[in-house]
Amino acid sequence: MSILMVYQSVVDMCASLLTLLDYTIEVDGTGMSPRNVFDQFVCHFWLTGQHTWYFIVASTYGILMMACDRYIAVIYPVWYNNNVRTICVLMITVNKQSQL
């Protein structure tokens, strides 16, 4: 469970930081070159607001994973205690793969 709580805290911290940066840094997109990699990043990732949605989805999956973790811990306590580390790592891996 602590792995999932750390994961949720990191995701929420990143979401908060990027949301704060999004509202404090103003980028209008003028003068961008299609050949510049940084300009392409800013255009496709920052100006569209995708970073906000990525972290909202990751946060929602994190809450869902914690709920499933608690459900398994209550329904199957002996099995859960023997396999808790494997379950948490598997849940985080599945969450990362679903975001790609």
Q: Considering the entire predicted model, what is its pTM?
A: 0.66
Q: How many Cα atoms occupy the beta-carbon half-sphere of 39 within 13 Å?
A: 9
Q: For position 74, what pLDDT does the model report?
A: 92
Counting every residue, how long is the chain?
Answer: 100
**pLDDT per residue over 56-91, tens digit each?**
888 888 888 889 888 988 998 888 888 777 877 777
Question: CA–CA separation, 80 vs 77, rounded Å?
Answer: 5
Angle between helices 2-24 and 77-99 (to 10 degrees): 30
> Residue 9 in contact with residue 64, Cβ under 8 Å?
no
Q: For position 94, what pLDDT does the model report?
A: 73
Mean pLDDT of 9-31: 79
Mean pLDDT of 26-32: 64
Beta strands in 51-96 (DSSP E): none
Handedness of CA 77, 83, 89, 91 (dihedral sign): negative
Structure tokens at 14: 């990143």
> Residue 88 in contact with residue 69, Cβ under 8 Å?
yes
Locate the domains of the chain by residue range.
Answer: 2-99
Q: For position 78, what pLDDT does the model report?
A: 87
